[in-house]
Amino acid sequence: MDYLEAKKRERQAKVAKAAMADLTFGDLFDAWFATINKKRGRKGRKDGGKSLRSAMEKHMLPSLRTHRVSGVFASNVLPLLTAISDVGHNRQAVEMLITIQQMIRWGERSQPWKRLLIDCDVLALAKEDVVSADYDPVRGNERNRTLTDDEIRLLGELIPAARLPRSIESAVWVMLACGTRVGETLPTRWTDLDFKARTWTIPKERTKSNAAITIHLSDFVLAQFAAQQVVRAGMPEGDARREYVFPSEKGKLPHVSISTACGAIHDRQRPKDAPTEGRTRATDALTVPGGQWKCHDLRRTCATMMQSLGIAESIVHRCLNHARNDPLDRIYLRFDYDARRMAAMG
């Protein structure tokens, strides 16, 4: 009996080993993704890993999904990354490399992946290996577009005729006036606003710095929120979208998504008479002399305007809710500059 049991276990071990050897790059990605798609403290992804999965499914998984993990090497990964940088998307190529290496490092700490990755050389790839020769890793990641006063005035004329969804139109002006990120702005609930106190509180769960911020609202911003109250009043009771300041017209989310807002703005800054099928025909409705502008450029413009008005840079950073990197600053410098932020945003 002992002999038969030993042979049975031997057969089971061989089957398990063979099954382990057949594990693929796609299996590794799925196992790793399950550990990062939920926010736990400072770990995980705020968006549930949606943007990361989308990028992997676009650039990596079509070619590598069925590759055995034990047979994935730098020679398999590098051509896919350079294909991204070859079309001018160097930053995305670097981000994709960082993502893959993060996944490999996780696998090297976890069985059964650790055994399968013993010969993997993907971690030896450097950022310089995947970008184009003329790419500056510092300046190449910097975007410096700001809107001029004349361009802002021009947008005041263009936006009403651009056929933007009402929620996106209001969000554009709110981001410009408050300097908030698009991901902080669009999920705003009515419960985040206090019209009597004229404040808007963004909870830490939605901020990049992981710190809540209360923004003091000007008459201009209050007018944008008032316009959204009219939108809300037109929705039926019980509609989940009524909870949100910037409700979606359609889609999976009750509020306008980042991709929808950014796409609507991008689609209105393309060559005239060159519409994309299924998209707006107002292709150049938001085109301004200084070139293409994006949602995050509104935040940069807000900061630059405050700076031009003589507001101290330290206060500008506070208004933007930038993280303080020095732990001693966070521990000992506790003054919140609330009154000065209120004056800056007024």
Give per-residue pLDDT as tens, 144-154.
Answer: 899 999 999 99
pLDDT of 322 strictly over 50: yes
pLDDT at 246 over 60: yes
pLDDT of residue 42: 57
Full set of structural domains in the chain with CATH? 18-141 (1.10.150), 149-345 (1.10.443.10)
pLDDT computed for residue 270 by the predictor: 86
Span of 7-21, 139-153, 206-220 with lowest mean pLDDT: 7-21
Flag whether the pTM goes above 0.75.
no
CB atoms within 10 A of CB 53: 17
Q: Which residues of 172-181 are buried (b: 16+ CB within 10 A; e: fewer)?
A: bbbbbbbbbb
For residue 276, pLDDT beyond 70: no
Cβ neighbours around 215 below 10 Å, total: 24
Identity at 285, one-letter amino acid code: A
The reported pLDDT for the residue numbered 326 is: 61
Provide the pLDDT for residue 18: 45
Q: How far apart are CA 172 and CA 187, in angstroms?
A: 14
Predicted confidence band at 209 (pLDDT cuts at 50, 70, 90)?
A: confident
215's enclosing H/E stretch is strand 213-216
- Tell me the C-alpha distance between 332 and 328, whole Å: 6
Say what the pLDDT of residue 335 is.
60
The answer to whether residues 315 and 337 touch, using CB atoms and an 8 Å cutoff, is yes
Q: Is the pLDDT of residue 49 over 60?
A: yes
How far apart are alpha carbons 81 and 196 in whole angstroms? 52
Who has greater pLDDT, 40 or 340? 340
CB atoms within 10 A of CB 321: 22
Q: What is the mean pLDDT of the chain?
A: 86
Share of the chain above pLDDT 90, in %: 66
The token pair that represents 215 in the structure block: 């923004």
How much is the pLDDT for 137?
Answer: 64
